[in-house]
Amino acid sequence: MATIELINVEKKFGSSYAVKPMNMTIHSGEFVVLLGPSGCGKTTTLRMISGLEAVTDGQILFDGKDVTWLHPSDRDIAFVFQFFALYSHMTARENIAFPLQAQGEPRDSIRKRVEEVAKMLRIEHLMNARPGGLSGGDQQRVALARALVRRPAAFLMDEPLGALDAEFREAMRAEIKRLHIEQNATTVYVTHDQIEAMAMGDRVVVMSAAVVQQNGTPAEVYHDPANLFVAKFIGSPGMNLIQGHYADGKVALPGDNRYTVPADWHTAIHEAIGRDGDIILGFRPEAAHISASGPIATTVYTTDLHGSYTMLHLELDRDTIVDVRAGRGTNYPIGTPARFDLDPAMVRFFDPKTEAAIHKGGNP
C-alpha cells in the first residue's frame, strides 16, 4: 500500500483554476474523502492522482517516487467510476479478469483470483451475467471486484455510490468500509455527500472553489470547522451562524439578545478582531438546549419531527432563524416564545472579514 503525496499540485483549464496549488499527504492504508460541492475540483484532483488528467504544475509522489508524468497503467492504482464503466460486451467474470489479463498473468491464477474476489463481494452467482442485466448495486459490486482483483497500491473512487438508489447506497457504504478495513488499502474517495464523507473517511478534505478549505478527521471538520464554508457545508442542517457585535466579553445578537462569551475565548477573540468589532457566533443544533432561564430569547418559527428528536426553527428576529435540537417529549406551538442556552464547550467564533474560524489556542 502506498503513501500518496501531492506537492503544489495544480490544474488550470485555460486561465481558470480547476485546482489551485494544493499540498496533501495520504498515508498508507488511510481512507481519505475529498468532499465538496460539484465543480470544486475534487474529481479533478482524483483524476490527477490517477494520471487520467495531467497536472499543470506540481509533483505527485507514490511512496516517495515521482509519478507525476507516469501513464495511468504504470501507477498501480484502481479506479472506481460513478457509472461503473463496466464493459457491456463482456460478462462479469471477464470484466473482473480484464485488469489481470493486462499483466499477462497465467490463466489458472487469474481464475483463482477472480473466484476469490467474487466470493469476497458475494457475487459468485452473477459471474456469467452481462452488466446490462444486473442491478445498480450488483454492477457496482462487479466494478469494485474489478478494482480489488489486482491488489493495487491505491484505490481511487469517484462518487461510486452516486448512481445508486438510497437503499443500495447504505448497504454499499458499509461494504466499501468493510473492504477497506479488510484490505487496509490506501483509498481516496470523492463525494459531494457530507454524510457519506463523515461516515466513511479516516480523514475528510473539504474543497470549495478549487481550494482545500480544511483537511481533518470527521470530528475535526464537524466540531472545529476552519471557516464559514466548512461550518455551513458539514452537517444537516449546517452550523448556525449568527452575525453579532462583540464588546466587553459579550456578543450583541439580533432581537436585542446578548450572549456572554465564555472567558476562555476572550484572548483569542481580542487577538483576531480586537476588543470591539463584528463577529459571527456559530453553534451546532445540538449545542443549544431549551431552558426558561436561557440568555437568548426567540419565537418558535416551525418545528420538524425527526423521529428520535425534534428540530426547532427559532426566530431571533425577522432575518435570523436558528436550528435547535430538542427532545421529542415537549410540544412547541408555533409563535410561542422559547429561550435557549448554549453549551460553552461547543460554541465557535468566526471573523466575518476573513471568514476564518477564531481558534482558542491562537490563530495559525
Partner 1 sequence: MATRASAPNAPVTISTRVDKVGLRPKVTRAIRALVVVILTVLILLPVVWMVMTSLKSPSDVVAVPPKIIFEPSIESFIFLVTERVQFPTRQEADEFRARDDLKWYEEKVAERGQKITRVGDFPKQLRNSFIIAGTSTIFSVLFGVLSAYAFSRFKIPGEGDLLFFILSTRMLPPVAVTIPIFLMYRELGLDNTYFGLILLYTTFNLSFSVWLLKGFIDEIPKEYEEAALVDGYTRLQAFRKVVLPQAVTGIAATTVFCFIFAWNEYAFAAMLTSDATRTAPPSIPSIQGVGRIEWETIAAASLVFLMPVVIVTFALRKHLLRGVTFGAIRKG
CB 326 within 8 A of CB 287: no
Contact status: 50 vs partner 1 (CB under 8 A) = yes
Cell numbers that stand for 95 in this block? 470484466
Pick the piece of the chain touching partner 1 (CB under 8 A) from 24-32, 70-78, 175-183, 337-345.
Answer: 70-78
What's the rounded Cα separation, in Å, for the pair 282 and 346?
Answer: 9
Q: In the sheet that 16-26 helps form, which strands lie side by side, from edge to edge? A: 16-26, 4-13, 57-62, 65-66
Q: Which is nearer to partner 1, 148 or 242 (CB)?
A: 148
Of 148, 91, 153, 78, the closest CA to residue 118 belongs to 148
Contact status: 72 vs partner 1 (CB under 8 A) = yes
Q: Which is nearer to partner 1, 131 or 285 (CB)?
A: 131
Contact status: 85 vs partner 1 (CB under 8 A) = yes
Q: Which is nearer to partner 1, 89 or 125 (CB)?
A: 89
Beta partners for residue 247, in sequence order: 250, 276
* One residue of 71, 263, 331, 335 binding partner 1 per CB under 8 A: 71
Contact status: 188 vs partner 1 (CB under 8 A) = no
Scan residues 313-332 and list those touching partner 1 (CB under 8 A).
none
Q: Which is nearer to partner 1, 42 or 150 (CB)?
A: 150
Contact status: 73 vs partner 1 (CB under 8 A) = yes
Q: Which is nearer to partner 1, 68 or 243 (CB)?
A: 68
Give the number of residues in contact with partner 1, rule: CB under 8 A.
23
Residues whose CB is less than 8 angstroms from the CB of residue 282 and which lie 6 or more positions away in sequence, other chains included: 225, 231, 239, 240, 241, 242, 347, 348, 349, 350
Contact status: 54 vs partner 1 (CB under 8 A) = no
Q: Which is nearer to partner 1, 52 or 268 (CB)?
A: 52
Contact status: 52 vs partner 1 (CB under 8 A) = yes
CA–CA distance from 317 to each of 241, 294, 296, 343, 349 (Å)?
Answer: 14, 17, 11, 22, 20
Distance of CA 362 to the CA centre of its chain: 26
Contact status: 77 vs partner 1 (CB under 8 A) = yes
Q: Which is nearer to partner 1, 51 or 216 (CB)?
A: 51
Of 90, 97, 356, 44, the closest CA to residue 231 belongs to 356
| Least Å from the CB of residue 129 to partner 1 | 18
Scan residues 129-148 and list those touching partner 1 (CB under 8 A).
146
Cell numbers that stand for 300 in this block? 418558535
User: Apex CA 283: angle with CA 277 and CA 287, to 5°?
Assistant: 140
Q: Which is nearer to partner 1, 146 or 173 (CB)?
A: 146
Q: Which amino acid is at 63?
A: D
Binding site for partner 1 (CB under 8 A): 50-52, 71-73, 75, 77-79, 81, 83, 85, 87-89, 98-99, 102-103, 146, 150, 156
